[in-house]
Amino acid sequence: MSVMAVTTLAALTEFLPAWEDLAADALEPNVFYESWMMMPALRDLGSDKTLLTALVFGANRARPGKPILCGVFPLECGRGYKGLPVKFLRLWRHKHCFLATPLIRAGCARETLEAFFNWLATDARSGALMEFNTIPGEGPFQQALSDYLCGSAKPNHIFKGHRRAFFRPAADADAYLCAALSGKRPKMIRRQEKQLSAIGRLEWDAITPDDDVARLVHVQDRF
């Protein structure tokens, strides 16, 4: 496998079809790292950071002369990690990104991670540390990363973990609201409904995936 570090949007554009193909066959999906979301984020939210994207390529059995994209690692370069005067890389998260699982092609996770860490060890932009921040504490990527780190005897440390919010649906909407809202909240909602009804006709409607959301949402600017 080989690794290419890309630092410009123009260079990344060349790999958009391969990037989309990788996202469709990823070991673990991450919508924040798909091209249609990551490219605008790099353009609009990454100007104040030193960023690069590591692309990992592997052999393509179907087309031997054209390597296949097996990994996409958006990275942020930094200096000074938790008080230590060292250079480091970490998976890039902008303010609207809530998951930093890199995209790795299913079936070649071990080889992709090995190529990525080999690149880290030799590239001048990397440094002494690599931080995998905001990745799942379980699942196929976490298992692949743990297996590789243990098998290669690379030193690693988990600094912190946290539980993510989990939505557990109830039998129906009424049952969910009764369980989720405090005793005072339903009364307040009924009072607000009464106040809105006094202003004009108040109707409740539920949208489906095929509905025109723009038709149901009206935004009025206030000056």
Report residue 218's pLDDT band, with 50, 70 and 90 as the boundaries: low
d(CA 216, CA 19): 35
> Minimum mean pLDDT among 31-35, 76-80, 116-120, 162-166: which range?
162-166
Q: Three-class SS of residue 168?
A: coil
The whole-number average pLDDT for the span 21-31 is: 95
The label of the residue with tokens 């992709």 reads: 112
The whole-number average pLDDT for the span 179-198 is: 85
Better-predicted residue by pLDDT, 17 or 215:
17
Better-predicted residue by pLDDT, 176 or 72:
72
Tell the burial category of 102 from Cβ atoms under 10 Å away from its Cβ (0-12, 13-18, 19+): buried
Better-predicted residue by pLDDT, 170 or 146:
146
pLDDT for residue 220 = 43
pLDDT for residue 221 = 43
Average confidence score pLDDT of the chain = 88
DSSP H helical segments within the chain, as ranges? Answer: 9-13, 16-24, 35-45, 109-122, 140-152, 173-180, 184-199, 213-216
Whether residue 16 has pLDDT greater than 60: yes
- Locate the domains of the chain by residue range: 2-152, 173-216
Contacts of 34 (CB under 8 A, 6+ apart): 19, 20, 23, 103
- pLDDT tens digit sequence for 32-61: 999 999 999 999 998 888 999 999 999 887
State if pTM tops 0.85: no
Percent of the chain with pLDDT over 90: 56
CA angle 28, 29, 30 (to 5 degrees): 125
d(CA 153, CA 129): 15
The DSSP letter of residue 36 is: H
The CATH number that domain 2-152 falls under is 3.40.630
